[in-house]
């Protein structure tokens, strides 16, 4: 009777099982295709007598919960004569595949059920833990014996009875954020490969440091350090620093960017002479390149803070004299360049001479700071040159038809030349740069 009753009781269950198996198999195939990407995943495998093997998979999925999520999880599948199996269980639901929120600054725990129809010794191993952050701790807690095993590093062997029907294990996953201080130094101006990044773990240590490029390639690895670590000699690019306590369940990771230094070019256009009799106003047109900030020094100890940072400043001088105006241009990477120009501030153009025409004498500009006096007739002439304050800076006589005057050694400013021939003279104003 037992033999005849078994098929009758089994057939409906078998049909239900097959239908459910097909649905679950399709779900598992869909989930498996998702897990081929770089998804953090923990695969727990269990092996035992008679080459029995089974596994359950847990993976990180934004928006998932610890319980069953139809979009992310798959039920555990049982046959009519189940062998040893391992599954995750939550609120009475057994799961083969379980998506959970990424673990960070918390401890995630889920019950693990192991059952068998053959009593014996079984082994649980973390067969892989793809893309899970390196410092993540994965601990298996045997509730029957109190044993806690770091399943990432060693397997756990235990005796499983065929009468076991309740979850025996807790899988605990934890990862804390390690406090770390960092300093980023962009390349110095003129040295594009001088960037550096300093990281220092906070705590008792020791710490492991890993430095990677934008593709994840390891650039430097420093282990068991109680102090900070530095990655130097960096040029333009994107980098990552990772720090963890040796043997700890903590982690720190940050991305940083090294930018190339931008070199500005400072320059401005302005009059080189200012007359106090006209108000003493001096204006400049800033034609600097690659700059985002400016600082002006007008050479007179001015405290005009507003004009000192203007793009195109107005400045007023109150005392006559020669002033060196300096513009400092600042780029977005804090590189600087300077440009200076000498400005002559005069009360007015006065020499005590009226400007008169002398047809016998002609004034010629040959080149920068190079001039000449030309006569129609070969007669003696006296030549005097006055600065803007009326002081004589040159006094000579000439009988040549053409007299060359080199003023390269003069201070920049406005000058007046007085050329006398017979009883007449000619006064000409000119500029020395």
| 165-222 tens-digit pLDDT | 999 999 999 998 999 999 999 999 989 999 999 999 999 999 999 999 999 999 999 9
Q: In angstroms, rounded to a whole number, what is the distance separating the alpha carbons of residues 125 and 56?
A: 11
Instruction: Assess whether the previous peptide bond of 169 is cis (omega < 30° from 0).
Output: no
pLDDT value of position 184: 96
pLDDT band at 401 (very low <50, low <70, confident <90, very high): confident
Of 109, 95, 117, 111, the C-alpha closest to 164 is 117
**What is the rounded radius of gyration, in angstroms, for the C-alpha atoms of the chain?**
44
Does residue 157 register a pLDDT over 90? Answer: yes
Provide the sign of the torsion angle of the four alpha carbons 289, 295, 300, 305, taken in this order. positive
For residue 30, how many C-alpha atoms fall within 13 Å in the half-sphere facing its CB? 11
| Residue that is written with structure tokens 């990424």 in the block | 102
- How many other C-beta atoms are found inside a 10 Å radius of the C-beta of residue 145? 10
Which two tokens mark 371? 């001039």
pLDDT band at 34 (very low <50, low <70, confident <90, very high): low
Which two tokens mark 429? 């104003």
Residues 315-338: what's their mean pLDDT? 91
Q: In angstroms, rounded to a whole number, what is the distance separating the alpha carbons of residues 297 and 343?
A: 12
pLDDT value of position 135: 84
pLDDT band at 300 (very low <50, low <70, confident <90, very high): confident
Q: Which are the contacts of 23, defined by CB distance < 8 A and separation ≥ 6?
A: none
| Residue that is written with structure tokens 């727990």 in the block | 44
**Structural domains of the chain, with CATH:** 2-130 (no CATH), 180-258 (2.60.40.10), 268-346 (2.60.40.10), 361-432 (2.60.40.3080)
Does residue 262 register a pLDDT over 50? Answer: yes
Does pTM surpass 0.95?
no
Q: Which residues pair with 426 in a beta bridge?
A: 419
CB crowding 67-102: b at 16 or more within 10 Å, else e: ebeeebbbbbbeeeeebbbbbbbbeeebbbbbbbeb
pLDDT value of position 20: 46
Q: Which residues pair with 425 in a beta bridge?
A: 420
Q: Which are the contacts of 32, defined by CB distance < 8 A and separation ≥ 6?
A: none
pLDDT band at 390 (very low <50, low <70, confident <90, very high): confident
Which two tokens mark 146? 């109190």
The model's pLDDT over 373-387, given as tens digits with 9 standing for 90+, comes to: 877 777 788 888 887
Residues 128-132: what's their mean pLDDT? 83
Cβ atoms of 41 and 128 within 8 Å: the answer is yes
Identify the weakest region by mean pLDDT among 19-23, 114-118, 411-415.
19-23
Cβ atoms of 413 and 272 within 8 Å: the answer is yes
pLDDT value of position 418: 83
Cβ atoms of 137 and 150 within 8 Å: the answer is yes
pLDDT band at 248 (very low <50, low <70, confident <90, very high): confident
Does residue 102 register a pLDDT over 50? Answer: yes
Identify the weakest region by mean pLDDT among 323-327, 337-341, 369-373.
369-373
pLDDT band at 398 (very low <50, low <70, confident <90, very high): confident
pLDDT value of position 9: 33
Cβ atoms of 268 and 340 within 8 Å: the answer is no
Does residue 240 register a pLDDT over 60? Answer: yes
Does residue 98 register a pLDDT over 60? Answer: yes
Identify the weakest region by mean pLDDT among 67-76, 155-164, 330-339, 373-382.
373-382
Of 113, 91, 92, 109, the C-alpha closest to 100 is 109
**How many percent of the chain have pLDDT more than 70?**
85
Of 404, 408, 396, the C-alpha closest to 372 is 404
Residues 124-138: what's their mean pLDDT? 87
pLDDT value of position 23: 46
Q: In angstroms, rounded to a whole number, what is the distance separating the alpha carbons of residues 182 and 200?
A: 7
Q: In angstroms, rounded to a whole number, what is the distance separating the alpha carbons of residues 390 and 347?
A: 11
- Mean of the per-residue pLDDT values for the chain? 83
Q: In angstroms, rounded to a whole number, what is the distance separating the alpha carbons of residues 216 and 213?
A: 5
**How many percent of the chain have pLDDT more than 90?**
48
* Identity of the highest mean pLDDT range in 30-34, 80-84, 335-339: 335-339
Q: Which are the contacts of 369, defined by CB distance < 8 A and separation ≥ 6?
A: 406, 407, 408, 410, 432, 433
Q: In angstroms, rounded to a whole number, what is the distance separating the alpha carbons of residues 223 and 246?
A: 8
Does residue 429 register a pLDDT over 60? Answer: yes
């Amino acid at each position: 009777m037992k033999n005849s009753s078994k098929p009758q009781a089994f057939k409906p269950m078998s049909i239900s099982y097959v239908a459910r198996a097909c649905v679950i198999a399709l779900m598992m195939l869909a989930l498996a295709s998702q897990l081929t990407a770089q998804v953090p995943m923990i695969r727990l495998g269990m092996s035992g007598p008679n080459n029995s093997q089974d596994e359950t998979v847990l993976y990180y999925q934004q928006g998932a919960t610890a319980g069953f999520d139809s979009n992310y999880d798959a039920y555990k599948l049982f046959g009519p004569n189940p062998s040893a199996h391992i599954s995750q269980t939550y609120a009475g639901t057994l799961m083969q595949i379980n998506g959970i929120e990424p673990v960070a600054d918390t401890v995630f725990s889920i019950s693990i059920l192991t059952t068998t129809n053959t009593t014996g010794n079984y082994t649980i191993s973390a067969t892989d833990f793809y893309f899970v952050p390196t410092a993540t701790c994965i601990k298996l807690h045997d509730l029957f014996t109190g044993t806690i095993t770091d399943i990432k590093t060693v397997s756990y062997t235990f005796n499983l009875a065929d009468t076991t029907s309740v979850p025996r294990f807790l899988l605990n996953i934890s990862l804390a954020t390690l406090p770390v201080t960092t300093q980023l130094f962009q390349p110095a101006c003129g040295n594009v490969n001088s960037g550096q990044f300093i990281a220092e773990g906070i705590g008792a240590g020791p710490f492991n440091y890993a430095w990677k490029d934008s593709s994840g390639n390891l650039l430097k690895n420093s282990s068991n350090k109680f102090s900070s670590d530095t990655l130097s000699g960096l040029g333009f690019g994107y980098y990552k620093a990772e720090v963890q306590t040796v043997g700890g369940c903590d982690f720190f990771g940050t991305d940083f960017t090294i930018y190339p230094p931008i070199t500005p070019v400072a320059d401005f256009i302005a009059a080189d002479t200012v007359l106090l009799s006209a108000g003493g106003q001096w204006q400049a047109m800033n034609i600097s390149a690659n700059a985002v900030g400016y600082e002006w020094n007008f050479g007179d100890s001015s405290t005009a803070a507003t004009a000192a940072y203007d793009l195109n400043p107005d400045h007023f001088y109150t005392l006559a004299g020669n002033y060196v105006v300096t513009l400092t241009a600042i780029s977005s990477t804090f590189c600087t360049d300077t440009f200076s120009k000498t400005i002559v501030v005069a009360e007015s153009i006065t020499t005590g001479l009226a400007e008169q025409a002398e047809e016998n004498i002609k004034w010629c500009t040959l080149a920068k700071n190079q001039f000449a006096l030309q006569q129609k007739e070969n007669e003696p002439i006296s030549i005097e040159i006055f600065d803007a304050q009326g002081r004589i800076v040159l006094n000579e006589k000439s009988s040549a038809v053409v007299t060359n005057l080199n003023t390269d050694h003069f201070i920049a400013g406005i000058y007046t030349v007085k050329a006398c021939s017979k009883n007449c003279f000619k006064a000409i104003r000119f500029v020395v740069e």
